[in-house]
Structure 1
């Protein structure tokens, strides 16, 4: 797990961070996530390919100005601090969507609002 970035404007809102196993096979694979805020409305941010969770920092900062939100950002497989998994066929939108669902389920969230950019929008669908 990476060292905590204390220079980030989101630092004071960080509730939890870590890795969650998203593997549906015997080979372990995990995605790195960060959870900000404590509000009842859950927001999941999905970045596009070749980007990581940090692309959402200014957007999450705006949402955290309202205490009703809790924001989840994560590095999808193969990006940032998440594991690199298999070859090109391991990075389909359905595989990335399955990872997102496993992450949401692991957090125990029943209802979420999903915000995606580029490939992240396709994953959200």
Structure 2
């Protein structure tokens, strides 16, 4: 029994140390093109909720050309995590990444709504 326990401890120790190797090489984050058309982001919107009996703040991303376009755009609702707010996606460069994705046609132009709750 003692021999089995010793072998088990040695195996666990070996597994522990092999999992502590150097970090795997990470792929570089692609450079974002600075000359692409930019959409607009408004973080000051709010609407009164009759159910909650309070104003709910939200942020809106509108793609480049939205104001002059007659196109009906799809709408994406991005919800923040627990303890966050409607500006969390904006703080993490969502608009810049979305502008790049729309520009290189890896996603369609869309309206993005980020509610507070």
Q: Which TM-score band applies after superposition, normalised by the shorter structure?
A: 0.3 to 0.5
- Which protein has the larger Cα radius of gyration, Structure 1 or Structure 2? 2
- Report the TM-score when normalising by structure 1: 0.41
